Amino acid sequence: MSPAATPVILFGASGRMGQEILRLAPDRADIEIVAALIRPGARLLGEPVWPDRADALAYETVLEPERRADVLVDFSNSVSFDAALALAVEREMAFVSGTTGLSDLQRESLEQASLRIPVLWSANFSLGVALLRRMAADAARVLGEEFDVEIIEAHHRHKRDAPSGTALTLGRAIAEARGRTIEEVGVFARHGHMDERARGEIGFATVRGGDIVGDHTVLFAGEGERLEFTHRASTRAVFARGALVAARWIAGRSAGRYTLDQAVEAL
């Protein structure tokens, strides 16, 4: 007998990632979307989530008290993030979030929430990006600061935060592998006449245009040689699949901070 499906509430259901999750979820026997929450006044409010199915689930803005779930999956934005996290804590649900552009205060709120509920936040739910992060950190440990590092990311014209959360996560992993912090070595803008590049800097370059789903390249540039790691996503389905894997994995776990790597290693 197959295990019961994990009931999931989706916050930010009308966004690009929310729509991709709703497209994939019906094909998974281990996940059941029990609520699709959107912002007040959104165009889809009251519309059926799956018009071609005999399903009463509709887009809504408020979660009814009797609606219960094990996990809240959040793909909203930095403005709506606080409400999503507060709802998960109030209803004692596990919290899985891919919302980027968070402030330091919001990151601290995640830490505080993890004392009460299981929390898994990731800037990128692609399994390939999880591997990219590991390889980049390994390369940073081996190559050291003799190699300069640049992180180049590209996304669609509608993305608001820059650099991307994924680029920052990659930068943090590389800095930590070298015993530094991204606050110490991150360089986020270059313009006009500049001083010579400082040893150990990690530079970031941002591209915004068209419908690019998400490209990330980590460049290690040394004397006479370069090493490049690149991940390109051609569909948001890769992120949605990873988020659903994380939601299934985190359900029922004790309070604390968890990572996508932990969920992937359990596959």
Catalytic (active site) residue 159: yes
Dihedral of CA atoms 52, 19, 16, 36 in degrees, nearest 10, equals 120
Q: Which residue in the list 156, 158, 159, 231 is annotated as catalytic?
A: 159
Alpha carbon distance 26, 215 (integer Å): 28
For residue 73, the one-letter residue type is: V
Peptide bond into 48 cis (omega under 30): no
* Token pair of 46 as six digits: 């009251």
Strands 59-60 and 71-74: unpaired
Answer for the pair 151, 171: CB distance below 8 angstroms, yes or no.
yes
Catalytic (active site) residue 216: no
- The HSE-up count of residue 142 (CA atoms within 13 Å, CB side) is 9
Longest dimension (CA), the chain: 67
- Provide the annotated active-site residues: 155, 159
